[in-house]
Structure 1
Amino acid sequence: MDRYARWNTLLEILAEQGRITVEEAATKLEVSQATIRRDFDQLSQQQMITRTRGGAVAGGISYDLPLRYKTAKHVQEKNRIGQAAGRLVQPGQVIALNGGTTITEVARALATRTDLVATPGSTGLTIVTNALNIANELIVRPHLKVVVAGGVVRPQSYELIGPLAAPILREITLDIAFLGVDAVDFKLGATCHHEGEAAINALMAARARKVVIIADGSKVSGHAFARICSSDRIHTLVTDTTAPQEQLRDFEAAGVRVVVA
């Protein structure tokens, strides 16, 4: 387990139980106590935890962990989901991508599709995003037109949010909005932890002909604080084999296309 995977696990443990000792953490992660002490010291320096004698407490951490600590979780599932979602895009379309680790995999899948390059008489793919990390990855691809929404950067997700993002999104139309979510449930719809992200995601959904929700199985049948859209606005749900089958049947019965990667 590399350093970032350890940090991710430690932060999740602290989010659940509030505190942990060096000895307990070393046993859970199967590493030395010296390694855990270094991890605690580094996380404390970043103000992610509060160091205590012999351990650490949750301090200022939140269940909405910064994006850089989420990359080690469900890696294979996210990659498969990204590839499956990328296949839904046709040349010449205008699509939106919000932020998150799974949506980043969608962006990478699109970046490597040579069939999306513009040909005589056709236009290339246009990608609208409010995620700075995704824009940074895509701008080096000459066959993609990248449009970045304005706004204030949210450090946890690298997404631009707030009223400055809205004017651009209100003036465009989208073929597909690919939205990564913190949770999706048939009854409650698509949701995320932060209300600012939810507002921009909802605007993307409103401007799109089709809404595609991207969620690994751990996020299906869950709920978060702020709603993005109701289930009847979802055209397609892309997930993996760990998603609860009853939820997937409910979505399909309501006419939502379900893609299991």
Structure 2
Amino acid sequence: MSPTDEAVQDAPRHRASRLSAILDLLATQGRLTVTAAADALAVSEATIRRDFAELSQRQLVTRNHGGVVATSVAYELPYRYRSSQHDTELDRIARAAADLVEPGAVVAMNGGTTTTAVARALTARDDLESTGLTLVTSALNIAVEAVLRPHVRCVSLGGIPRPESYEVTGPLAIAGLGQLWPDVAILGVNGLSHREGATCEHEDEAAVSRLMVERSTEVMVVAAEAKLGQRAFTVICDADQVTTLVTTAAQDHPQVVLMRGTGTTVHCV
């Protein structure tokens, strides 16, 4: 790699993506050498050593001879979370959604593979180190990862966790969230359509997400194309309550066109 290429790789966005990629590799392997990381990410070993030092300073990894090992139980996620970490579709949504969040914002998030990817991309942004970020989440796995970021104030809601999604539900979650005013709610959904709105499978999870919508100034739904036009069991919010949609659907997708008609800003990625 030439010095020019190396400089491009070290641009803030590339660097943040690289740090997240290193954490993803650790999630599946448990330990990582400088040489293996450099080969996997196609950068120099010197770059990887700097990245390892940065991750160690943030207490996200532990240095050992020749590499790093995973620090936290945050890496022990259900299979569907681990297997989706290199999903290109999720990565595109996560990067685009994370870039839309204003530095210093108070962000509320529910659980799921898409919001987990967004949380990783968001909390890895270099520009947040000076401004900070407050993350309010009903997902235990997101909270466990976010709390390790020095520039993130993490508020984990209480309640009864659901093993399939790591989301907490019930009166404790509702009571805690009812005392907060997020700037933006970032929501994963099982379905989104112009007619039925944002929906999910479980009413107890929907109740928490619904309150996030009510308490937030803006509502961002993050959903792959396969979720558009679909309807799940219970309503989170109406379509016209969605301020922003980040999706992999094409610009001319019927639901994209209809959502824009309600005033929703749609980012097709």
TM-score between the two structures when normalised by the length of structure 2: 0.68
Confirm or deny: 8 A CA contact 1:91 1:115 kept in the other structure. yes
**Letter of the structure 2 residue corresponding to residue 84 of structure 1:** A
Higher Cα Rg: structure 1 or 2? 1
Say which of 259, 262, 265 aligns to 1:254.
Answer: 262
* Pairs aligned (count): 192
SS at match of 1:258: strand
Once the two structures are superposed, the pairs formed by residues 92-171 of structure 1 within 5 Å of their partners are 92-118=104-130, 123-171=131-179
Residue in structure 1 matched with residue 249 of structure 2 by the alignment:
241
What RMSD in Å do the two structures reach over aligned CA positions? 1.8
Whether the 8 Å contact between 2:250 and 2:268 is mirrored in structure 1 is no
Structure 2's unaligned 5+ residue stretches are: 1-76
Q: Any gaps of 5 or more consecutive residues in structure 1?
A: 1-65
Residue 242 of structure 1: CA displacement?
A: 5.9
Q: Tell me the distance in 2 between the aligned counterparts of 1:150 and 1:117.
A: 27
Query: Contact conserved, 2:143 with 2:154, CA < 8 A, in 1?
Result: yes
1:117 aligns to what SS in structure 2?
helix
Secondary structure at 2:107 match in 1: strand
- The answer for the alignment partner of 1:69 in structure 2 is 80
Q: 1: CA distance between counterparts of 2:90 and 2:108?
A: 18
SS at match of 1:187: coil
**Aligned counterpart, 1:85:** 97
SS at match of 2:232: coil
Question: Partner amino acid for 1:259?
Answer: H
Distance 1:239 1:71, change over 3 A: farther
Task: State whether residues 217 and 244 of structure 1, in contact with CA within 8 Å, keep that contact through their aligned partners in structure 2.
Answer: no
Looking at structure 1, the residues matched to 153 and 126 of structure 2 have their Cα atoms a distance apart, in angstroms, of 14
Scaled by the length of structure 1, the TM-score of the pair is: 0.70
Name the aligned partner's letter for residue 156 of structure 1.
E
Distance 2:245 2:195 in 1: 14
- CA distance in structure 1 between the aligned counterparts of 2:194 and 2:79, rounded to whole angstroms: 29
Stretch deviating more after TM superposition (164-173 or 238-247):
238-247
**1:40-82 Cα shifts (integer Å, max 9, x gaps):** xxxxxxxxxxxxxxxxxxxxxxxxxx96336546921011100
- The answer to which structure has the higher helix fraction is 2
Equivalent in the alignment of 2:42 = none
**Could you tell me how far apart the structure 2 residues matched to 1:95 and 1:70 are?**
21
2: CA distance, partners of 1:243 / 1:97: 26
Tell me which amino acid in the other structure corresponds to 1:97.
Answer: M
258 and 117 in structure 1: CA distance in 2 versus 1, 3 angstrom threshold: same
Task: Calculate percent identity across the aligned residue pairs.
Answer: 45
